Amino acid sequence: MSQATAIIGTGQTHHCSVRRDVNIPGMIHEAVTRALVDAELTMNDIDAIVIGNMEHFEGIHLSDMWSLDGAGGYLKPTIKVATGGCTGTSLGIAGYYHVASGLFDSCLAIGWEALSVSEGETTTGIITAFDPFFERPTFAGAISGLGIFAQEYMNQTGVTEAQAAQVVVDARQKAQRNPFAHLKQSVTVEEVMKSPLLSYPLKYLDMCPTSDGACAVIFASESMVKKHGKKAAFIKAVASVHNHTYLGDTVRFRGNQLETLTLAAQQAYKKSGINNPLEDLDVAEIYEPCSFALLKWMEYLGFCEKGQGIRLVEDGTVAMKGKLPVNPSGGVLCTNPIGATGLIRVAEAASQVMGRAGEHQVDGVRRAIATGFGGSNWNEVLILEAP
């Protein structure tokens, strides 16, 4: 039987396009130090470490070893996790299992990315990961796949490009409350619509940025939580579901086929006793790489009926003061250091449950959801609750 496990500390860097003031281990050290301060612990209190990023984006391998000085893993059990775009949430799930298994009383999860190190390699890395004959000639990185996703969604629901642009406007407004967010400048629907076209219907401002940054989260056993007397966000459920198909054969857009996010959510809801997510959840941190993704994935998560995601934005349901605030941090649309992005979702959800989210704190949060997304149609879900 697994032991109860909670998050007791989180830390992030101030995310931006380029960090020229610090090397990568130094950037990691910033996040780790802030997590330790948040939990009122030292490295002596940490039993194990999980760390990860998208190694091929920077072209620097063995990130669990050469970043040792920043991660604090000297003479501590350390493993590397790398699951593509889902690396961040996979780190969170791995940190949870390290403690829940009873092997450790505490585990430090660290995600990071310095995408400025190898400009342009992000798209190259994604392209070359796919079949060279059937997919590589047309799969121009993540953007073209998301463009197909957006086209399908528009055709199925009648949602327009201008309506999707409202997601970006909302995200930027929320990000202004978050001191760690990368993009905070206000935008209008008109500005999103006039921004350069990337892959129809996605325009420049419809897409998330590429960010340099790191995030650290401390997981602890229930006995350790009681010993230190800290507020905590307990992990009630985790789920990870993925598959792989050729881009042209993917079932995620077709008919009544269940998307992997729906399957992961159903597993997590069942484990945590959630019957109506819109009513039972208090806040959501959803991995949304583009404007259309948030609309569709709120539907996959069961927040509304199919095709009704835009209604939740337009009627204020997901606003800061709405029934279920979604991405009060500004989300992936405002901050995206890929290897850390999903872990940021976990950290932000935990901070909301612990009441330590600062200016973007939502009132009365007791239960939160965090999601992660990556290639191979990979989706992950974590449910966090107050004790």
- Decide if pLDDT at 172 tops 50: yes
User: Is the CA virtual torsion 54, 56, 58, 59 positive or negative?
Assistant: positive
Is the same domain home to 302 and 276?
yes
Is the same domain home to 227 and 271?
no
Is the same domain home to 90 and 164?
no
pLDDT tens-digit profile of 101-151?
Answer: 999 999 999 999 998 876 656 666 666 666 777 766 666 567 888 898 899
What lies within 8 Å, CB to CB, of 172 at 6+ separation is: 183, 184, 185, 186, 187, 330, 333, 334
Of 233, 266, 281, which one is at a domain's C-terminal end? 233
Which pLDDT band holds residue 252 (cuts at 50, 70, 90)? very low
Is the same domain home to 112 and 188?
no
Whole-number pLDDT of residue 254: 46
| Cα–Cα distance for residue pair 10/34, rounded to 1 Å | 7
| Cα–Cα distance for residue pair 188/373, rounded to 1 Å | 27
Is the same domain home to 31 and 142?
no
Domain encompassing residue 187: 121-209+236-385
What lies within 8 Å, CB to CB, of 114 at 6+ separation is: 19, 24, 27, 58, 212, 337
Is the same domain home to 88 and 142?
no
Is the same domain home to 221 and 251?
no
Work out how many domains the chain is built from and give that number. 2
Is the same domain home to 372 and 223?
no
Is the same domain home to 67 and 146?
no
Q: How far is CA 121 from CA 71, 138, 173, 369, in A?
A: 25, 17, 30, 31
Whole-number pLDDT of residue 33: 98
Is the same domain home to 104 and 66?
yes
CATH of the domain at 290: 3.40.47.10
- Decide if pLDDT at 208 tops 80: yes
Whole-number pLDDT of residue 59: 75
Is the same domain home to 115 and 141?
no
Whole-number pLDDT of residue 377: 78
Residue 68: count other Cβ atoms within 10 Å of its Cβ: 18
What percent of the chain is predicted at pLDDT more than 70?
Answer: 90
pLDDT tens-digit profile of 332-342?
Answer: 999 999 999 99
Is the same domain home to 105 and 133?
no
Section 231-259 average pLDDT:
72
Whole-number pLDDT of residue 259: 82
Helix (H) or strand (E) holding 154: helix 141-157
pTM score: 0.94
Average per-residue pLDDT for the chain = 92
